Amino acid sequence: MNLRNVLDPQTICLELQAATKEGVLEELMDLLVRTGKVSDRAAALAAVREREQKMTTAIQHGIAIPHAKTDAVAELVTAVGIKRQGIDCDALDGKPSRIFIMTLSPMSRVGPHIQFLSAISHALENPDVRQAVLDAASPEAIIEILASAR
């Protein structure tokens, strides 16, 4: 999957304001709603919260990838947020999450959802990529970093 095709500079926030996991979920959702990518904020947010209740999407190395399937989107959509000081999100490694990547997919489409989760996880395996994302000065730079990661 070419991450350039799904990452949008309009849905990337270099300085998340939220101080809680719930606040981050709402802030990222608001980016998607403002850009017209989500038709029903409440339904989409409920789907993300439901997925979070099953198991945290805060993985390790300061990364959280909240995701869900919902008919509030017509196609796979993403939002990226950075919180440099980190937020406790019950990560599997116990460390604060600093890089947040939310993705939503329609209920009827499985392939793109799985492909995106695999591609973004692979890109963020590299500690140099994670640091470059945290140091990025623009949304476009984040897209280039993630899309170029090998």
The catalytic site residues sit at: 67
Reading the block at residue 55, the tokens are: 């198991």
Phi, psi (5° rounding) for residue 104? -130, 140
Comparing C-alpha atoms, which of 44, 32, 110 is closest to residue 71? 44
Comparing C-alpha atoms, which of 106, 131, 103 is closest to residue 117? 103
Comparing C-alpha atoms, which of 94, 99, 105 is closest to residue 44? 105
